[in-house]
Copies of this chain bind each other. A is one copy, B any other.
Amino acid sequence: MTHRESLHKAAGNGLIHRRHLLGLGLGGLGVAAAGQVLGADQAMAFELPAWSRRPGPGPSRYGQRSPHTDHIGRLAGDPNPLYPGGGASRSPLHLLQGTITPNSLHFERHHAGVPAIDPAGHRLVINGMVRQPLAFSYEDLLAYPMVSRIHFLECSGNSGTLLGASPVDGTAQSIHGLVSGAEWTGIRLADLLAEAGVLEGASWVSAVGADGASMGRSIPLTKILDDVLVALYQNGEPLRPEQGYPMRLFVPGWEGNTSVKWLTHLKLGTAPSQFRDETSKYTDTLPDRSSLQFTFPMGCKSVITSPSGQMALVRRGLYQVTGIAWSGAGTIRRVEVSADGGASWADALLESHQSEKALTRFRIPWDWQGQDAILLSRAIDDRGNVQPDRNTILAERGNLSTYHYHGMQSWAVGTDGNVRNVYV
């Protein structure tokens, strides 16, 4: 029996048991692309490269990337002159690893571009149904107790193209790149509201940003008091301008644009404000032409980021199938992977560091010997939610609206090794 034959099969079409990722047997296999074999006399015969022969520049104040990684960037559509500053850019999921997205590569969605805010001239006003209206400067807020939480953020328009009639020839980035993960630090909004004093009967909070669109969203007070932050820091440093500097609302697990950026106004009342972006946008039209409004939590979801659309497998052998999973309802407990279009499934290995409403990295080894394959992943969270397939979503809500799509992504691998987006 060869070493390859001794691997524990976990599901059809080449999926290997995840325990082989834990140091129990991939070694000696040429796991992916074996290193170059050296002769005994060759082992130290490499010429010393130029960069090893002289000193380089010393420490710096603020580091930059290697020019050799400049190809890794967000993907933005062409500017629309009728919609200045509007649009989105998508995280390069297929080129990233782990669960934290660098701030420079976190996805963006703007309704009137990025305002250049001087924090000294910015105020956060809390009024409406409160005992005492208050205004906070940035400096005021910096002195408050804060909390740090690792969470995903996902635009509700993410992946919506998969409801289209025919599958686009896209990448993990172009189809799913409106999701990212970060450690957010800020003040519990409940603490600020306690200072203002919430009046009996208040049940909604309307949040407005200081951008040119005055983008606004209404959020139930129960969620605000549960876990909503006024976020000031992302991955340790102050927010970037495109993420809401100097402050944004952060609404864990809910659709991205409820986390209002450049937050300047919170008004308490008894009803939602019926802002543009909760009426004409971000609502889901159903087959009977009625609309679902306020679909807040993002669904239980996963996507395989490698191999993924427009990649090519260049040799036969063992690969690591990896991707990210998340759920607006809680913590990812399990991700299953199929290599045969859903006929059989195997559990992927989840990274050990997991937070509620955060990205979770999954991995599973896969032996590809040049055969056709369809790779799928399916996430399950700790509330029992299971990621549905595309057909289930189509049957339930049709495709008149493309928000809140959280169905499975299927990637076809051809005998030529090319990977493409397909429907199964």
Contact = CB atoms under 8 A, between A and B. Distances in A.
Interface of A: 21, 23, 26-40, 42-44, 46, 49, 51-66, 68-69, 72-74, 76, 79, 84-89, 96-106, 108-110, 112-119, 121-127, 132-137, 139-140, 143-150, 181, 183-185, 188, 190-197, 210-214, 232-233, 235-243, 245-246, 264, 319-320, 322, 351-353, 355, 361, 363, 365
* Prevailing SS type, chain A contact patch: loop
Given A60-B76, A125-B38, A242-B59, A97 B146 contact: yes
What are the nearest 9 A-B pairs in CB distance? Answer: A27-B194, A56-B113, A32-B143, A59-B89, A35-B134, A55-B85, A51-B115, A61-B73, A98-B148
A47 to B, nearest CB: 10
A345 to B, nearest CB: 20
Contacts of A103: 63, 102
Contacts of A42: 133
Contact of A60 (B46, B74, B192, B319): B74
A104 B76 CA distance: 24
B108 A185 contact: no
Q: Which of A27, A144, A210, A237 has the most CB of B within 10 A?
A: A237
A237 B55 contact: no
A104 B62 contact: yes
Contact of A145 (B21, B53, B56, B196): B21
Given A46-B123, A52-B115, A56-B115, A100 B100 contact: yes
Contact of A135 (B35, B55, B113): B35
B69 A238 contact: yes
Contacts of A23: 188, 190-191, 194
Contact of A237 (B105, B109, B192): B105
Given A143-B319, A188-B23, A238-B69, A148 B59 contact: no
Q: Which of A38, A105, A113 is most buried by chain B, counting CB atoms within 10 A of its CB?
A: A38
Contacts of A240: 63-66
A320 B139 CA distance: 14
Given A51-B210, A238-B69, A63 B28 contact: no
B238 A351 contact: no
A219 to B, nearest CB: 17
A351 to B, nearest CB: 5
A106 B100 CA distance: 15
B113 A85 contact: no
A57 B236 contact: no
A70 to B, nearest CB: 8
A63 B182 CA distance: 15
B233 A353 contact: no
A141 to B, nearest CB: 8
B46 A237 contact: no
Contact of A236 (B98, B108, B124, B133): B98
Contacts of A245: 66, 68-69
B353 A36 contact: no
B35 A214 contact: no
A242 B60 contact: yes
A93 B94 CA distance: 32
Given A63-B103, A105-B236, A211-B56, A195 B135 contact: no
A308 to B, nearest CB: 14
Contacts of A109: 59
A99 B194 contact: no
Contacts of A79: 58
A104 B64 contact: yes
Given A34-B195, A212-B54, A66 B238 contact: yes
Contacts of A190: 23, 27
A89 B62 CA distance: 10
25 contacts: A23-B190, A36-B137, A37-B133, A49-B121, A49-B122, A51-B116, A51-B212, A52-B211, A54-B212, A55-B84, A55-B85, A56-B115, A58-B76, A59-B110, A60-B108, A62-B74, A64-B240, A65-B241, A66-B117, A97-B236, A98-B233, A100-B236, A102-B103, A145-B320, A145-B363
